[in-house]
Structure 1
Amino acid sequence: MNYQVNGQRSVEYTVRHRGTDARGSRRYFTIASVPTERNILLTTHMVASGSSFKRALRKLPIGGAVSAGQVAGDFVLPADRAQKLGFIAGGVGMTPFRSMVQWLLDTRQQRDIVLVYAAHCEADLAFRDVFMAAAAQMNMRVVYVLSGASPPDWRGETGRIRTSLLQQAVPDFVERLWYVSGPELMVARPRQVLRELGVARRQIRRDYFPGFGG
């Protein structure tokens, strides 16, 4: 599979199954891997009460067949390596950032990045090893935010992404090109917060997952 290495690309996958519900047998998945890796990596959230597609995906055996459509999407890094960047990930919205960050690590690039990663609980935080490596190797700053219960030894932020949090965690927020990714509602609120802080619309790029949950 060919796809651009400096950012997010999505692929439409088809899992054919019986008892298809109203949403059908096709879904778009963001590619979380990079071409330097051997396998294509996708991420999703599985729940027992999910759609017929998710149930079929859960039951798919190793070696099972799926159909993949065209690679598409333009949620990619800017060509200007000096541009300061801000990433806001809501839940599974960390997927494109995993791809971007892993590619930067593999190509040994240095970029000024702050990642604000919001999830319900600590167990929901994925790819922390990749983000820790980026913090060590390219000084990427990572701010974790839990909206649910946090453990007693939690050192990150709690609550929702809000103006006071971004002002404190990212003082130079106006200078950054922002990428916001996640379920639709988890993209709308951070975007509103950025606008309230005076970040121009042209400085905010979005990648949201409509109808997320199945």
Structure 2
Amino acid sequence: MAEELPSYKTELISIENLEKDYYEIKIKKPSDMNWVAGQYMRLGLPTKEVTEKKKLRALSFASLPEDDVILLGTRTGKEISNFKQNLLTVQPGEEVEVKGPLGQFTLPEDENQTLVFFAGGVGVTPIRALLEKLAKDKSERTIKFVYSSLDYYFYKEDFAEFKKSLPNAEFIFVRDENDVDRELTKLTNELANDALYYVSSSEKIVEAVSQSLQDKGIDTENIKHDILYGY
């Protein structure tokens, strides 16, 4: 029998429409809740009438526990789900439910392991937390971060700040499939299986990028996935 997830009642701090259908959500961190960079949670809306079968939605932590705020990023997509419609009506101070943490999209124990991060769109949220953790630790390991988006880059200003504390990090912002393939080809030629590869995006993109990495000679055990199942 599966162990029940810890559940916390807390409150919304804010929801901000950053650009087009991109939203940043801030939730008050329950004092007794902790997680590890790269993990995710499930969000519930107890004050709303969500008509969809799935009453909770998985969202990755974009912040660290010591930030004292749960930072989340999401998109509504062209057709807004009933859950997202309800979410956008939640007011500051209104109750929300948080369950978790979950997931193994976390940093390796080897503090010298070279890391390659690939994010597509809003899949950047867990990678923001991973990079914040590395920056706070002033990690000297080799880090390559490829971020692909057609129209908007979440947390771009934060990444510029993190990079100041990461002397061996390279951040690469691209826009289309050809750019992604070019950068991944360069990285796999340079690093091969001496790096651990993190891939976070929609299911379709994660599958495509992971297959591309394997085609370039990367072993499956050197690839970690974080899949966003819809908006």
Fold conserved between structures, TM > 0.5: yes
Which amino acid is 2:201 matched to? G
Residue pairs, 1:4-153, within 5 angstroms = 4-5=35-36, 7-16=37-46, 17-18=48-49, 20-21=51-52, 23-47=53-77, 49-121=79-151, 124-139=152-167, 140-147=169-176
Matched, 1:168 2:186: yes
CA distance in 2, matches of 1:69, 1:135: 31
CA distance in 1, matches of 2:128, 2:216: 26
Q: Which SS does the other structure have where 2:135 is aligned? A: helix
Which amino acid is 2:214 matched to? R
Question: What are the superposed Cα offsets for residues 55-107 of structure 1, whole Å, 9 maximum, x if unpaired?
Answer: 00001111111111221111110111111110010111111111011112223
Give the conservation status (yes or no) of the 8 Å contact 1:101–1:134. Answer: yes
CA distance in 1, matches of 2:98, 2:217: 40
TM-score (norm 1): 0.84
Q: Residue 160 of structure 1: CA displacement?
A: 5.2
TM-score (norm 2): 0.79
Which amino acid is 1:209 matched to? L
**Could you tell me which residue of structure 1 aligns to residue 213 of structure 2?**
194
Give the conservation status (yes or no) of the 8 Å contact 1:11–1:30. Answer: yes
CA distance in 2, matches of 1:8, 1:128: 18
Which amino acid is 1:82 matched to? N
Q: Which SS does the other structure have where 1:192 is aligned? A: helix
**Could you tell me which residue of structure 2 aligns to residue 183 of structure 1?**
202
Question: What are the superposed Cα offsets for residues 118-151 of structure 1, whole Å, 9 maximum, x if unpaired?
Answer: 1112xx101112221233321310111113xxxx
**Which structure shows the higher strand fraction?**
2
Question: What are the superposed Cα offsets for residues 18-74 of structure 1, whole Å, 9 maximum, x if unpaired?
Answer: 3613x4321011111012212111111134631110000001111111111221111
Q: Residue 191 of structure 1: CA displacement?
A: 0.5
Give the conservation status (yes or no) of the 8 Å contact 2:188–2:218. Answer: no
Alignment RMSD, CA only? Answer: 1.9
**Could you tell me which residue of structure 2 aligns to residue 204 of structure 1?**
223
Which amino acid is 2:56 matched to? R
Which amino acid is 1:167 matched to? T
CA distance in 1, matches of 2:106, 2:50: 37
Give the conservation status (yes or no) of the 8 Å contact 2:35–2:101. Answer: no
When the two structures are aligned, how many residues end up with a matched partner? Answer: 197
Which amino acid is 1:130 matched to? D
